[in-house]
Amino acid sequence: MTERKIDELVNCAAKARERAYTPYSHYSVGAAVLTKSGDVYTGCNIENASYGATCCAERVALFKAVSEGEQDIQMIAVIADGDKPVPPCGICRQVMIELAPQALVVMSNLEGKRERRTVQELLPSAFEKSSLK
C-alpha cells in the first residue's frame, strides 16, 4: 500500500469518527476499509445502554462492505483519541480474521501516530472456519 492510500483511508476513518454515537464511554472511534475494487466503506462505534448491543467502528465498516458484496478487504484503518494508536478489540480481531484475513490494519491516533500490523499478526493462532471441522 502506498503512503498516499494509507493517508486517504485514515482520513476517511477520522471523518467517520465524527459520527460516532458514544453517550456512555465518550470514546469515539472511526474505521474505514479499502476493498480490492478500490471502494471504501466507513464505520463508527455505536453504543447502546445495553452494553452488549454496542458495535465497534471496525465491525460496522466491515459489515457494510460485506453487505454490499465485497469479499476482498485489502486494508482497515482505525482511529481514536489517545496517547498511542488504537488497537482493535478482541471481537473485532475475530471478525477481521473471518472477513479480512489478509488485510493490513493501520491503527492511528488523532496526533498522527500510526502502527501497522496484518490481521494475522493481531490474532495469531486464531479460531477460524477450519477449527470447526
What's the CATH superfamily of 3-132?
Cytidine Deaminase, domain 2 (3.40.140.10)
Reading the block at residue 92, the C-alpha cell is: 473485532
In angstroms, how far is CA 16 from the centroid of its own chain? 11
pLDDT of residue 11: 98
Rounded to the nearest 5°, which phi and psi values hold at 76? Answer: -130, 130
Domain ranges for the chain, please list them.
3-132
3-state secondary structure of 79: strand
pLDDT of residue 107: 98
In angstroms, how far is CA 101 from the centroid of its own chain? 13
Asked if 57 and 14 count as a contact pair (C-beta separation under 8 A), the reply is: no
H-helix or E-strand spanning residue 41:
strand 40-44
Distance between CA atoms of residues 52 and 42, nearest Å: 21
pLDDT tens digit at each of 133 positions of the chain:
799 999 999 999 999 999 999 999 999 999 999 999 999 999 999 999 999 999 999 999 999 999 999 999 999 999 999 999 999 999 999 999 999 999 999 999 999 999 999 999 999 999 998 899 7
- Which residues carry out catalysis? 58
pLDDT of residue 110: 97
Cα angle 126, 76, 98 (rounded to 5 degrees) comes to 30
Distance between CA atoms of residues 3 and 111, nearest Å: 17
